[in-house]
Amino acid sequence: MSCCAPSGGRGPVPAGAGAPIETAASPVSTEGMTRVAAGSFLMGSVHPSAYPDDGEGPVREVTLDSFRIDTRAVTNADFARFVEGTGYRTEAQRYGWSFVFAGLLPDNFPPTRGVAAAPWWRQVEGADWSRPEGPGSTVELRPDHPVVHISWADADAYARWVGKRLPTEAEWECAARAGHQGKLFPWGDELEPGGQHRMNVWQGSFPAHNSTADGWYGTCPVDTFEPNDFGLYNMTGNVWEWCADQFGGDGTRRVAKGGSYLCHSSYCRRYRVAARQGMTPDSTTGNVGFRCVAADTGPERDRH
């Protein structure tokens, strides 16, 4: 169980329209993607902010082939097109519930079961990608916000449908760093350089008070804040992003990177580029989304 997002095996996924999605046969569109050149970078951290059990360290040199990565996380509008085109039902829809941050629920919301180690997470019947806070909520006014309540399998299915894949952890971290070797954030070591907010994280005293000094309570549009030097938006904060890799050697969890709108230095400093957490693939919460990568077939002029 992580303080950042509930994780735990739910048992077999209920039957439903979550059948395997075939990889797109047509050429992959690289619109909305940027190219990251082949090369080496320093991955990981031994910074005091790191959590030893997360396995961020040691710092090591990693060499990657070139690849392309979405400049923005997958949005509600993107995922709606996938659902409309395939009839896909997410794991949260098939289970019938998902985890929602209590602060996003209305005051008159019926009592729900909380997570013992993190009572701000509530199990909400009927919560899913299209109803992020459960029955009565909608994404109609949030088409450009990141899709959430997405399991690893859901993210993988979408990626294959568009002919892409989930990034490896190394690809994700290399892209997030954008050449800033050894730095805490995609832009450097200052959380708010020059007093400017650069990502959507909790402001105030968690979990009781969010001043929304950065402008947001909950998710924000995927292109909010200044992009990093590779042109990538919200690589830290806003929502955790699934990666392809297994977390640790037990094979029961997958890696997520980047932190979310709930991260706060008083209890969770995982909004750093080296930070990571492991979640079971069936985990679905209101602060986990994803972006995709694709093989690089583009011209050299796009090289970073």
Classify residue 150: in a domain, yes or no: yes
Classify residue 69: in a domain, yes or no: yes
| Dihedral angle of Cα 143, 149, 153, 158, to the nearest 10 degrees | 0
pLDDT level of residue 304 (50, 70, 90 thresholds): very low
Write out pLDDT tens, residues 160-206.
999 999 999 999 999 999 999 999 999 999 999 999 999 999 999 99
Average pLDDT, the chain: 91
Give the Cβ contact number of residue 215 at 10 Å: 11
Classify residue 64: in a domain, yes or no: yes
Taking CA atoms, 127 is separated from 57, 86, 100, in Å, by 36, 21, 8
Write out pLDDT tens, residues 276-303.
999 999 999 999 999 999 999 865 444 4
Structurally, how many domains does the chain consist of?
1
Classify residue 16: in a domain, yes or no: no
| Percent of the chain topping pLDDT 70 | 91
Classify residue 18: in a domain, yes or no: no
What would the mean pLDDT of 23-30 be, rounded to a whole number? 74
- Report DSSP letters for 55-107, one per residue: T--S-EEEEE--EEEESSPPBHHHHHHHHHHH----HHHHHTEEEEEGGGS-T
Q: In the predicted model, is pLDDT for residue 24 greater than 70?
A: no
* Segment among 136-140, 234-238, 262-266 with least mean pLDDT: 262-266
Classify residue 19: in a domain, yes or no: no
pLDDT level of residue 26 (50, 70, 90 thresholds): low
Classify residue 12: in a domain, yes or no: no
Q: In the predicted model, is pLDDT for residue 25 greater than 70?
A: no
Give pLDDT, residue 303: 41
What would the mean pLDDT of 103-109 be, rounded to a whole number? 92
Per the structure, the complete domain to which residue 95 belongs is given by 35-302
The CATH number given to whatever domain includes residue 279 is 3.90.1580.10
What is the rounded end-to-end Cα distance, in angstroms, of the chain?
A: 37
Classify residue 58: in a domain, yes or no: yes
| Dihedral angle of Cα 237, 238, 240, 244, to the nearest 10 degrees | -100
